[in-house]
């Protein structure tokens, strides 16, 4: 089976700090791959390279066999890669509905000029996109929040809206950077269920960064482990859980941290 995402020997340094060193990963179509590791392991940097926010100093990234290593984030998004952020990146003064409609912008073909010349076309397109957004609102069970400003919502609900905005892109690959970070137990359970449903019902391939090891082991098909910028293990949750290097680098710390693992 050919991988949807192919990451080959990517490295990234910031000044004298090597954030990622020679990491290679294949993400198979339709799977949930979790990327774990201690604080500063290079997890978010890796996601930033996949999504085009950073370009690797060395190595190559391909999506569906197409080289996307040097493409801008907007172009990577057009090709079907959506993401959420560790720190919520919603427009707080805008409504839930408007934030989700913004997530549709790369799917809209009617530019300003077309909208003036072909008003009917633009209207029909708007109706189509609005229907898709309403489907996502129903899926995420936030029907009664659609007109609320995002900044007025509880933190866990803002995380849910950010997931919705990423889904509004209709992505092939969804990159989730700590979607459960800062959430309470009930919010984590809700988010885990949504992530599973997006994967199983919608067929979206997911790359997940998450510190809650219980969640990671429960919902992942495979797990890759980074430590100090390098990949030290990869396999099924059971294989990774039993790996001595992982126990030392990450899970061992989690056992002593008392809160599900180190942050970052």
* The pair of three-digit structure tokens given for residue 66, joined into one six-digit string: 């197409």
CATH C-level class of 28-56+68-80+173-264: alpha beta
Fill in the DSSP letter of residue 248. Answer: I
Distance, in Å, from the CA atom of 38 to the CA atom of 253, rounded to the nearest integer, reads 8
pLDDT recorded at residue 105: 67
Q: Which residues contact 247 (CB under 8 A, 6 or more apart)?
A: none
pLDDT recorded at residue 176: 96
Residue ranges of the chain with pLDDT lower than 70?
A: 1, 105-126, 250-264
The total number of residues shown for the chain amounts to 264
* All structural domains of the chain with their residue ranges: 28-56+68-80+173-264, 91-170
Distance, in Å, from the CA atom of 222 to the CA atom of 234, rounded to the nearest integer, reads 7
Q: 3-state SS of 131-157?
A: HHHHHHHHHCCCHHHCCCEHHHCCHHH
- Answer for the pair 216, 237: CB distance below 8 angstroms, yes or no: yes
pLDDT recorded at residue 125: 63
- Summary mean pLDDT of the chain: 86
pLDDT recorded at residue 121: 52
- Quick one: how many helices (H) and strands (E) in the chain? 11, 10
Percent helix, strand, coil in the chain, to 5, is: 45, 25, 35
Distance, in Å, from the CA atom of 248 to the CA atom of 131, rounded to the nearest integer, reads 49
- pLDDT tens digits for range 154-184: 999 999 999 999 999 999 999 999 999 889 9
Burial of 168-184, coded b for 16+ CB within 10 Å and e otherwise, reads bbebbbbbbbbbbbebe
Task: Give the residue carrying structure tokens 């849910």.
Answer: 160
Task: Give the residue carrying structure tokens 């050919």.
Answer: 2
- Answer for the pair 59, 9: CB distance below 8 angstroms, yes or no: yes
Q: What is the pTM of this model?
A: 0.85
């Amino acid at each position: 089976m050919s991988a949807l995402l192919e990451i080959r020997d990517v490295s990234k340094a910031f000044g004298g700090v090597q954030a990622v060193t020679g990491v290679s990963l294949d993400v198979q179509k339709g799977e949930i791959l979790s990327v774990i590791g201690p604080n500063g392991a290079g997890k978010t940097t890796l996601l930033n390279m996949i999504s085009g926010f950073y370009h690797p100093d060395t190595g190559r990234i391909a999506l569906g066999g197409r080289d996307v290593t040097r493409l801008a984030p907007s172009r990577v998004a057009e090709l079907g890669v959506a993401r959420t952020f560790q720190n919520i990146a919603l427009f707080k003064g805008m409504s839930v509905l408007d934030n989700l409609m913004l997530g549709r912008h790369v799917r809209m073909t009617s530019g300003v000029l077309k909208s003036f010349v072909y008003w009917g076309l633009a209207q029909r397109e708007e109706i189509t996109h609005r229907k898709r957004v309403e489907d996502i609102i129903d899926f995420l069970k936030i029907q009664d929040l659609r007109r609320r400003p995002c900044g007025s919502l509880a933190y866990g609900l803002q995380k849910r809206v950010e997931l919705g905005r990423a889904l509004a892109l209709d992505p092939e690959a969804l990159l989730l950077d700590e979607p459960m970070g800062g959430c309470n137990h009930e919010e984590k359970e809700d988010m885990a269920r949504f992530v599973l449903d997006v994967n199983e019902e919608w067929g979206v391939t997911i790359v997940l960064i998450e510190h809650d090891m219980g969640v990671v082991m429960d919902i992942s098909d495979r797990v890759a482990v980074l430590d100090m910028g390098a990949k030290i293990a990869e396999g099924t949750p059971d294989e990774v859980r039993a790996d001595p290097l992982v126990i030392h680098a990450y899970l061992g710390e989690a056992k002593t941290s008392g809160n599900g693992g180190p942050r970052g």
